[in-house]
């Protein structure tokens, strides 16, 4: 009953059935565990790649939107400058009319 687990003979190394089964189960279990870890890592990388692609697309969309807003802002600034110029012309015209009226009263 107390047979040695490993024996050395002229036929080579002989393993006890219990030790052989333990080694086999350990190797198979290790292989399965390693396979699941690699699969989970691969799935995680695929998820990160998908999110990266989505983020890059969002960044490109945001850049286009920012460019549109800058263009719109430039047009608004130009309109405000044109309004300011028009108001200044009107003020100058009113000042000239008032000066003419004051000179005409004298």
Averages of pLDDT over each 10 residues, the chain, 106 residues: 65 79 95 97 96 96 95 93 96 93 78
Instruction: Sketch the domain layout of the chain as residue ranges.
Output: 17-105
Q: Kindly report the backbone phi and psi dihedral angles of residue 10, in degrees, each rounded to the nearest multiple of 5, phi listed first.
A: -70, -15
pLDDT at 103: 86
Q: What is the pLDDT of residue 7?
A: 66
Using CA atoms, how far apart are residues 49 and 54, in angstroms rounded to an integer? 9
Query: Taking the model in full, what pTM does it have?
Result: 0.53
Residue indicated by tokens 């047009």: 75
Q: How far is CA 88 from CA 1, 9, 73, 92, in A?
A: 113, 113, 22, 6
* Alpha carbon distance 70, 90 (integer Å): 30
């Amino acid at each position: 009953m107390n047979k040695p687990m490993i024996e050395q003979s002229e036929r080579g190394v002989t393993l006890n059935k219990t030790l052989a089964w333990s080694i086999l189960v350990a190797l198979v279990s290790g292989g399965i565990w390693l396979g699941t870890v690699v699969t989970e890592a691969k799935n995680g990388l695929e998820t990160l790649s998908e999110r990266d692609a989505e983020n890059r697309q969002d960044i490109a969309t945001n850049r286009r939107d920012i460019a549109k807003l800058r263009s719109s802002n430039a047009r608004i600034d130009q309109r405000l400058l044109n309004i300011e110029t028009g108001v200044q012309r009107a003020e100058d015209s009113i000042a000239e009319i008032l000066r003419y009226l004051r000179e005409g009263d004298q």
